[in-house]
Structures are given as C-alpha cells and as structure tokens.
Chain A
Amino acid sequence: MTRAVVRYDTGDAPPPKVDMSTTLAWFAMPSPVLTASGCAASGRELDQFFDISAMGAMVTKSIMLDARSGRATPRMAETPSGMLNSIGLQGPGIHDFIEHDLAWLRERGVRTVVSIAGSTTQEYEDLAKILRQHEGIDAIEVNISCPNVADRGQVFACRADTASGVVASVRRSTDPSVPVLVKLSPDVTDIATIAVACDRAGADGLTLINTTLGMVIDTDTMRPALAGVTGGLSGPAIRPIAVRCVWQVRQALPDIPILGVGGIRTGRDALEFILAGAHAVSVGTVVFHDPSAPMRVHAELAVELAARGFSRVSDAISYAHRPEDADLSSDAEDDELNPPEWV
C-alpha cells in the first residue's frame, strides 16, 4: 500500500516515552535534533514538509554583512555517500535576512540559531552588534570556516589565535543572554587545541563539524568538477570524522556543550554523536535526500534510546566515555554513573 509520509510517524508502535529535551548552554530545546547551516536555508522550504517549530531548532544559512552572489557553477558534485559543495556563501546580507527571514521565523514560532560568517574579525563583530538589536534569536553560531582576508585567505578556524580572536569579539558584542556557539573545521592538526582556545575566548558551546575539504576531477572534461576547484565534503561519508572530533573535544573539555553534525542520516547515527559527547545534533546533507529527515531522526532516536534503556536523552550524552569498569557495576543505569562526571 502507498501512503503519504506522515510527519512524526514512528510506525504503528506508540512513540516510546523518552524525555528528548536537551540544552545547548542555557538554550533549552524539546528535541535534540536541529537543521545544519546551509542545508535548510531559512526554514520556509522545509516547513512544507514538516512542522519546523517542533524541531530542536532551525540553524540558518551563514549570513554575511553584505549580499553575496556566491561562486560560479558547477557548485556541487556527488561523491560516494556524500557530496562536495562550493556555494561561496550566497546570501542576501544581514539586513535583508533580519527583515525577511528572521521576522518570518519569529512569527512562525521557530527556535532559531543564527549562523554568521565574515571575512574579517571586524565583520563578525559588526554582525553580532546588528543582531543584538533584534529579538527571536535563541543562539548564534559563528561559522569560522571562512577565508580571513587579513591572513592570505587562511580560514579563521585553522589557527587557535585567529579562531579565538573572532570568538572573543563576537562574545563581547552579542547580547549576554544569547549563547554563542562556535563551529569548527575538521581540517586542522588537532581539533582539541582549537576547541580549548575557543572555550577560553568565551564560546558557550561548539558545533562540530563543518565540511572537510575535498576535490573531484571530472574524467570526461579532465578538469576539476567544481568551478571553485575544491569544495566541502559532507554527508554520511564524513560521519566517522565528525564522531571522532566530538569524541576528542569531549575528552579535552568535559563540560562544554556540543552540537554534533556530519553525515547524520538515522536515529542510530544521532545516537552515536550523543554517546560521543554531543548535547544535540544537526541533520545537514541528508535533508537533500529526505526533506523530512529531522523529524524522522528525532523519532528514530527516541526508539534507539528506549531500546537501550535510556529514559532521557540527556543520560546518553557522553555515555561512550564511561570508564571500562562502569559496565560491571550493578546499578549501571543510575544517573550519577552517567558522564560528564566520568570524563
């Protein structure tokens, strides 16, 4: 039989009773599943497929001060279990975003994480100051995987000093009641070093990870497949890299809130991130495959948690870091045995 995909559908079984609420710093959400920046625009399109106000939150496409045309096409190439993209942050600029997108999200009652991007530290600061004058922002995500014009186009995220410079100025300029998440790039020698620097600079949480740089050569034209030559690799192909980053950062920073992202396709994948140390997860590229994926992942995650005896998603956060001998203890399900105490 055919049927329309029913949103929130968990099959015929009643949804398991798992408390799915979580927090990123002091931003509380009823679901640990969010969208990922650049993979859901500003929400209107996905709202056709499911009620986006029911998700943990909407993470908007990274916005810059001014309008940007982005890069030439081709902007994407499919790869095994993933894709490369080289969009170049096409967008309308912060003022248009506030007037049209943020206003719509607010009216629609959607929890919103606004992602910002800049080409100088000053531009990030200006964006933070502009956003400070507006309501309806639950958190700011700072995309520091952008070329720094003052550093020969090196991305801010690849050095501890440039990363923490941006973080400190955004934290200083943002409304103190709004948590600032910093989104890191996996393309660094030691992600924990960058994470620690961002934490010291005042980050309230970290988003792990952005895409990892890749390249495809078109064997027909025998030239790079993307107009931008290289592109960011995303999708299930990068999931193990993302899980590794979450794990390493959780080891280095036992308490920092983490938003895990990279190749999440199912509730089982989301659980992997949570066990590795994520407080919440973003579903990115997989939305292109399945536009209702965030709600599906939410429902599947509840089933996966229930199957493992978790009554709250928060009990599963960092659970993979428990000591070797924890499983031998008779009361292994007691709350106090759950991390972060163990890490």
Chain B
Amino acid sequence: MPVQVRGEVVSVRRAGQYFVLTVTAPGVAEITRPGHFAAFAIGDLESSSLILRRAFSIYGVQSRGIYGGTMDVVVADSGPGTHWLTQRRRGDSLDVVAPLGRPFSLPREPVSCVLVGGGYGSAPLFMLAEQLRARGCRVDMLLGAATEEKLFGVLEGKRIASMVTITTEDGSLGEAGRVTDLLPSVMAKANAEVVYGCGPMGMLAAIAGIAGERGAYSQCAVEEAMACGIGVCMTCVLPVIGDDGVTRMVRSCVEGPVFRGERVRWDEVGTIPADTYGAPAGDHR
C-alpha cells in the first residue's frame, strides 16, 4: 500500500548523464519491492504550475541509517519537471508517493535470469538482481544505451551479475548495436529461463518476442505517460490480454508497470484493438 510522505533530499549526485537522487521516505523502504515506482510532486503543492507528478523507478532503498528510511531514484534531465528535481539540494523537501505499481515477480526455483536495461531503465534491475541472487538464481545483465554516457550502473552490474554485456548504438562502450541484437546469444549462454526488461517500449516489445520464441518467461516494466500514478485517472492504459484471454485497456500504474511480456499487445500500444473489451464498433483509431 503506497504512502504519501514529505521527504527530505539527502543528496543529488551525477552518474554519467543521469542524477541519482536520494531522499528520505519514512515507511517506504520496508514495503518496496523491485519494479515499484515513486511519484514526486514538482514544486510546491500550493503553487506549482506543473501539477502532475513525475514517476521514477525505485533504484534502491535503505530502511535504516542516520536518515531513517531513504530511497534512491535515477533521474534523466529531460524536461522542466525532471530538471527541477536535478536542481534540488540537500535539505530541500519533496512530496513523495511510493511505492507504487505492481513489482517484478520472482521465480520460486533458482533459475537462470537475464536482466535487460535500456538507458536509465536499468535503475530497478539492481535491486532485482540482488533478490534473485539471494534466491540462488544465476543473474546475467545486458545493459544498452545510445552512448556510453547514457548507460547507467555498469560497475554495479559487474559487482552483482555473473556476466554483464554492454551495447551502445554508437559503439562508444561494449558492442555496437542494440541490446536486443545480443539477447539471443546471452540467453543461450546463460541457459536463461526468465528475462526481465525495463526500457523503451520498442525494446520491451523485442524482448518479449525473443523470450517467447525461446520458450522463456518475460517480465517487462513499461513507461506510459501518467497523470495520477495511483489508478484514478485512466490515462496510462495499454492493451493487455487477461487470464481469460480477453484484451482490456489496463492501467499501467496499478496493474503494471510490470507485465508479462506475452500479455501486452505491443504492436497495438497507442490504439484500441478492435477486439478490446468495450471497444466501440468500427472505431478503433
């Protein structure tokens, strides 16, 4: 169950092109699981002109220490809201709602897992890797980005994972190309039964496809534009096939952001597929 807390910025530090923001969030650490996200209010609750919260995957949590419970997120400065967050200083206060969404599910058996992160999409994968390792799973990581500067957590990955494979589109670090080019070989080497992914929609679609072809199970964390993050507004929907085989427009903030790869109708994200529950007859733009 999420809580709304007034947190205090502990630090904002640079990591490549990103910023790691650490904020106190009493009561959040204990209930956070890998794949959960947090939503931050931008500016003052009484006067800000940016009235929608910004969502970030939770990168790490500490339940104890001199600050009490804290939480870390990785922020890419990509607009006015994220820019404001990167400009926070130690001691500034932040209104936080967390943990939100449905986290990654963990396998019961100690199976081999590949964790794929695109850009800052690797943020939730380190906590996940630790928990998988604690269950005896083999963990391999595949991290990719457009450039070296846009990779996040390479060193940390090397510390946690059995093997880390890096790709950059410009070849500035690791192999030149995309994570999905290397995923089949990484899966084969690790004999992987489960693939976890977090990153852009196109990457997730490809991961789900590759995992499916190889009979592996995939879990993908999506990033849809969200107005509320708590399930009340219906803006963050995408077409997902339910247990009953019926496609519904489901809220990615409460029923996601993590979905089973084969359940999302990736090619039709942004549309209402004609056979969706409640779809208007003949109008499925």
**B235 touching A87, Cβ below 8 Å:** yes
- Chain A 152-182 interface 0/1 with B at a Cβ cutoff of 8 Å (1 = within): 0000000000000000000000000000000
A73 touches B270 (CB 8 A): yes
Q: Please determine whether A78 and B51 come into contact, CB atoms closer than 8 angstroms.
A: yes
Which residue in chain B gives the minimum CB-CB distance to A266? B46
Within 8 Å CB of B280, what residues of A? 68-69
* Inter-chain contact A41/B232, CB cutoff 8 Å: yes
Contact of B277 among A45, A69, A265 (CB under 8 A): A69
B50 at the interface (CB under 8 A from A): yes
- Residue A235, interface by CB 8 Å: yes
Chain A: number of interface residues, binned into ranges:
35 or more
Q: Does B41 contact A (CB under 8 A)?
A: yes
Residues of chain B with a CB closer than 8 A to A291's CB: 4, 97, 228, 230
Q: A69-B276, A83-B227 are in contact. Are A5 and B4 (CB under 8 A)?
A: yes
How long is the Cα–Cα vector from A68 to B233 in the complex, in angstroms? Answer: 15
CB distance from B270 to the nearest CB of A (A): 5
Chain B interface size range: 35 or more
- Cβ–Cβ contact A289 & B52, under 8 A: yes
- Is A341 interfacial (CB-CB < 8 Å)? no
A289 CB contacts on chain B under 8 angstroms: 41, 45, 48, 51-53
B26 adjacent to chain A (CB < 8 Å): yes
Minimum C-beta distance from A69 to chain B (A): 4
Q: With both chains docked as a complex, state the minimum distance between the C-beta of A270 and any C-beta of chain B, in angstroms.
A: 13
A235 touches B51 (CB 8 A): yes
A288–B227 touching, CB < 8 Å:
yes
Q: How far is the CA of A82 from the CA of B52 in the complex (A)?
A: 8
Contact A90 B230 (CB under 8 A): no
Q: Is the pair B24, A2 in contact by a Cβ cutoff of 8 Å?
A: yes
Say whether B2 contacts A287, CB under 8 Å.
Answer: no
Contact A39 B232 (CB under 8 A): yes
**In the assembled complex, which residues on chain A have CB atoms less than 8 Å from the CB atom of B285?**
71-72, 227
- Asked if residues A3 and B232 are in contact (CB atoms below 8 Å), the reply is no
Given contacts A76-B225, A289-B41, 18 further A-B contacts (CB under 8 A): A2-B26, A3-B5, A5-B4, A40-B232, A41-B232, A45-B232, A66-B278, A73-B237, A74-B235, A76-B235, A85-B227, A85-B233, A90-B249, A92-B278, A227-B270, A288-B227, A289-B45, A291-B4
